[in-house]
Chains A and B, each alone.
Chain A
Amino acid sequence: MRILFKTSYLDDIRLIRHGGYTLWYGALAAALLAAPLVLAEFYVGELSQVFILAIAGVGLMLLIGYTGLASLGHGAFMAIGAYTNTYLITKGVPFLVSFPLAGLAALAAGIAVALPANRMTGIYLAIATLAFSQIVEQVVVRWESVTRGFQGLPVPPPDLLGHPLTRAWEFYYLCLAVLVLVVLGAANLIRSPTGRAMVAIRDSEISAQSLGVNLVRYKTIAFGLSAFVTGLAGALLGHKLKFISPDAFNIILSIQLLLMVVVGGLGSIHGAIYGAIFVGGLPQAIALMRDYLPGAIARTPGLEPGLFGLVMILVVLFEPLGIYGRWLKIKAYFDYFPLYRRATFKRQRSYLKTERVR
């Protein structure tokens, strides 16, 4: 049974809480750094995809998990990031400039969405973001001078100070670096007043306001940051796909991002990453299972979304805290062994109380 002795307030503020974490995170870092040396190029590419999804997931998590604002349209921010980045690169702007600019373009869009969204709640906000993403998709299709519409846009490789990153492992380290920076930034935000303000807004807007939290300001910050990070992910996705078109960023992508953060575990950075691993790994898992499934099912197109949907249903019904939630329970079992009690995590029975009077 692990008992944590805290000797200073810093123990609660630090990112790494105790020695065990240093060991595990250190091992993880070593494994990730060494991966391109041991894995085949295909798997390195797949890991890059997981990193990109994780970056987008952290972005979405900031909005949904921490501030409690629903978004069904985050694919639009990825599109804005991807197209801005690609357009600037094709005009000769170096990657180190176009990449943050792509994020800033998405940030501006996020703030533009936030301004009207501030007055909407719950389901209306979700639907409004959905509408926004559909409108962005149409704009991308019709603005042919910039995006070439349905013809699509080929994406040149990113360049680091003139040196193009064409190899899979170079791209891998780029994605890993961006992911690490994003995760650190998010973790820092969570343990600061701004992060706490965002959580306060999620749990009780009225009392947050009465304690001095400017709702409009922080909701806008949440949207902006979330869009920025997701835009960066979109730019990287463009490089990964090497070719972007409007249907790469459609509503299916938005919904996949949403389901991804839920399956991983809402409300934590770990959750976003576990979700990305799940979604990134699903096609591989299906490929492996194909040999064991009856021929008819295995050959049907559209198996992946169906399976994803089935997993999500099971998650919502049986483990709403997601993968991270299940992991926390497992950890708690070992931490408290032999004093672990199932009832600690038992959900309270609750009845529907109308949200129409809020």
Chain B
Amino acid sequence: MELAQLIVGGIAQGCVYGLIALGFVLIYKATEMVNFAQGDLMMLGAFLALTFIGTMGLDYWLGFLLAALCMGLLGYLLDALVLRRIIGQPQFAIVILTISLGFLFRSAAGFIWGHETQVFETPFTNRIIALGELVLPLESISMIAGTVVLAGLLYLFFNYTRIGNAMQAASQNQLAAYYMGIPVKRINSLIWALSAIVATIAGVLLSPVSLVDPSIGFLGIKAFAAAVVGGFGSLAGTVLGGLIVGISETLAGRYLPPGFKEIVAYLIMLGVLLVRPQGLFSTIQRKKV
């Protein structure tokens, strides 16, 4: 039973990794940018929720919604005001830019909310469901459920809406997409808004477990492993990657010597990169010369 318990915990943690990684992959699929500040967007979203729900005392779901909307707006503005200007520059510039944004967010969060760890009330904190011998914390259930719902919605969005198709076109050849009348810039900003909302959801769902302080953004680095396993191309693959990482981490923490839990995510990632350098579900092909 302990094993089942651990696996549930691992799935829940993996779902959070998967959600953060979904944010990466969304942006990558649309604009081929890798957003190294994704974890810090999650952190900002969690802090905003803290302000709405904790400090201002709003109802949990209302505060959640407000935080998500605010972060969506932030994501949109981020792209419209800052990231649009570097379209066409090599990917390296974007890496540097997003890393720097992460620094800025962390510093700003520390300035606005302070560096101590804080927490706010959620309907899921410290509540459990008992299934026979299995004790399932409600917060874990919320992470899993939230991820499933969100992943499903995103799948439908990308494959069955015109905007989803337009996003795929813009990511493969921007100039051609422009010619086809696709409002590429607006679409990219919408993607960033969407990604920020996804990050906020991850942050709020995670907050009962990880609490809220400026450094929770570093979780984003482990979420990279999930995105890499998924090959940066497939939403399902990304969630699957998150689950693999989450479960492995939890099991490693219990059964392997200390220190392995911290690095198992990276070992998995390196393993995948060695065997299939382009990820398990990727879309990279050879250039025709």
Contact = CB atoms under 8 A, between A and B. Distances in A.
B100 A309 contact: yes
A306 B285 contact: no
B174 interface: yes
Interface in B75-128: 82, 85-89, 91-93, 95-97, 99-104, 106-108, 110-111, 115
B259 to A, nearest CB: 4
Given A262-B96, A313-B97, A130 B270 contact: no
A352 B88 contact: yes
A124 B221 CA distance: 13
Interface stretch (B5-13, B158-166, B272-280): B272-280
Classify the interface of chain B: helix, strand, loop or mixed.
helix
B187 to A, nearest CB: 12
Interface stretch (B59-67, B129-137, B143-151, B261-269): B261-269
Given A306-B103, A354-B32, A123 B262 contact: no
B100 A259 contact: yes
Contacts of B174: 351-353
A297 B95 contact: no
A306 B106 CA distance: 7
A271 to B, nearest CB: 13
Contact of B107 (A120, A135, A303, A313): A303
Nearest to B284: A356
Contacts of A138: 259, 262-263
Contacts of A135: 263, 266-267, 270
Interface residues of B, number: 61
Contact of A309 (B89, B101, B270, B277): B101
Nearest to A300: B111
Contact of A128 (B115, B175, B273, B287): B273
B17 interface: no
Nearest to A304: B107
Interface in A63-84: 64, 70
Contacts of B100: 259, 308-310, 312-313, 316
A29 to B, nearest CB: 32
A295 B246 CA distance: 43
A134 B257 CA distance: 17
A316 B96 contact: yes
B55 interface: no
B16 interface: no
For B82, B106, B228, B284, the residue with the greatest tally of chain A CB atoms inside 10 Å of its CB is B284
Contacts of B22: none
* Interface range on chain A (Cβ under 8 Å from partner): 35 or more
A316 B86 contact: yes
Given A124-B278, A306-B106, A142 B259 contact: yes
Interface string A301-321: 111011111101100110010
B210 interface: no
Contacts of A127: 224, 228, 269, 273
A357 B285 contact: yes
Contact of A258 (B82, B99, B279): B99
Contacts of B257: 142
Nearest to B260: A138
Given A122-B91, A357-B287, A358-B287, A131 B266 contact: yes
A138 B288 CA distance: 42
B104 A310 contact: yes
A356 B171 CA distance: 10
A229 interface: no
B32 A312 contact: no
B200 interface: no
B285 A308 contact: no
Given A355-B91, A357-B285, A309 B171 contact: no
Interface in A331-353: 349-353
B258 interface: yes
A126 B95 contact: yes
A302 B31 contact: no
A120 B273 contact: yes
Interface of B: 31-32, 34, 82, 85-89, 91-93, 95-97, 99-104, 106-108, 110-111, 115, 171-175, 178, 214, 218, 221, 224-225, 228, 232, 257-259, 262-263, 266-267, 269-270, 273-274, 277-279, 283-289
8 contacts: A124-B273, A132-B266, A262-B96, A306-B108, A320-B93, A354-B173, A356-B32, A356-B285
Given A127-B224, A309-B100, 19 more contacts: A119-B274, A119-B277, A123-B34, A126-B95, A130-B224, A132-B270, A206-B289, A255-B99, A309-B102, A310-B104, A312-B97, A350-B89, A351-B88, A351-B175, A352-B87, A352-B171, A354-B172, A355-B32, A357-B288
Instruction: Enumerate the 4 nearest inter-chain pairs by beta-carbon distance, A residue then B residue, closest first.
Output: A306-B107, A309-B103, A350-B88, A131-B266
